[in-house]
Amino acid sequence: MSYRFDDLTAACHDDWRAYIEHDFVRQLGSATLSEDAFRHYLKQDYLFLIHFARAYALAAYKSPSLSDLRHAFEGMRAIVDVELDLHVGFCRQWGISEEELAQLPEAKATLAYTRYVLDTGNRGDLLDLHVALAPCMVGYGEIANWLNAHPATRRGGDNPFDAWIAMYEGEAFQAAMRAEIDWLDARLADASPARFAELTRIFRDATRLEIDFWQMGLDLAD
Ligand SMILES: Cc1ncc(C[n+]2csc(CCO)c2C)c(N)n1
């Protein structure tokens, strides 16, 4: 039996669909999401991105080869040099200043998700860490594609969240998502059934924590 990334989403089908098709996503697509919920999400996502950059630093530390080291370095650079700059600019447009971002208290859902990923990487190997990162890396691209295929989605100037969808449907991001799937496909091909069961558990837990992250946004939870 040779495994691939699609076997992870198939093994966690219900959780994966609950993440991709969450009410937060649906409301964002149909332009019915409350602006306060989106702002709350944006603020917590700033903290999330900082810990995600740390997870890529951990991936560098866990890299046994130069090509893995380069992959981790590029991932960290993408977040620190591109994603976080874009995010701070995006927050500014939504009335959230850099000073406010620097002072934010961390919501429990942010704490749980980011520390889960870091702990999984600390106690496991590079594949465990990448599987914990995968719902984030692959899920957002799939969400943008799902929204574009959904009849209730409104695109363009009459949807205030249009720029968010545009970011994740863009070719640069979709290419990064495919590269991550290829990396995982190559490693999963050698996994035993017992190892695949361990990785499924990590993938499911990280997906459940993504669901909680959306719910935290909707509930304005702290
Ligand atoms: C809760 C949450 N989950 C996933 C992402 C998406 N994301 C975060 S970092 C990254 C890699 C980009 O270099 C991607 C796709 C997010 N922003 N917030």
How far is 19 from 59, CA to CA, in rounded Å? 25
Check pocket membership of 137 for ligand 1, CB cut-off 6 A.
Answer: yes
Check pocket membership of 38 for ligand 1, CB cut-off 6 A.
Answer: no
Residue 1 has pLDDT above 80, yes or no: no
**Distances from the Cα of 182 to the Cαs of 6, 7, 179, in angstroms?**
11, 13, 5
| Predicted confidence (pLDDT) per residue in 8-46, tens digit | 999 999 999 999 999 999 999 999 999 999 999 999 999
Give me the pLDDT at residue 127, please. Answer: 98
**Percent of the chain's residues with pLDDT above 70:** 100
- The pLDDT confidence band at residue 173, using thresholds 50, 70 and 90, is confident
Can you give the CATH number for the domain in which 117 is found?
A: 1.20.910.10
CA nearest ligand 1 atom 10, residue: 137
Give me the pLDDT at residue 159, please. Answer: 97
Q: How many domains does the chain have?
A: 1
| Predicted confidence (pLDDT) per residue in 183-210, tens digit | 999 999 999 999 999 999 999 999 999 9
- Span between the terminal Cα atoms of the chain, in Å: 44
Check pocket membership of 41 for ligand 1, CB cut-off 6 A.
Answer: no
Mean pLDDT of 60-87: 94
As a whole number, the mean pLDDT across the chain is 96
Mean pLDDT of 170-180: 90
Mean pLDDT of 146-171: 94
Mean pLDDT of 1-13: 96
Q: What are the residue numbers of the active site?
A: 136, 210
Domain that holds residue 155: 5-219
CA nearest ligand 1 atom 17, residue: 45
Residue in 22, 71, 83 to alter for ligand 1 test, most ligand atoms within 8 A of Cβ: 83
144 CA to centre of ligand 1 in angstroms: 12
CA nearest ligand 1 atom 9, residue: 49
| Predicted confidence (pLDDT) per residue in 120-130, tens digit | 999 999 999 99
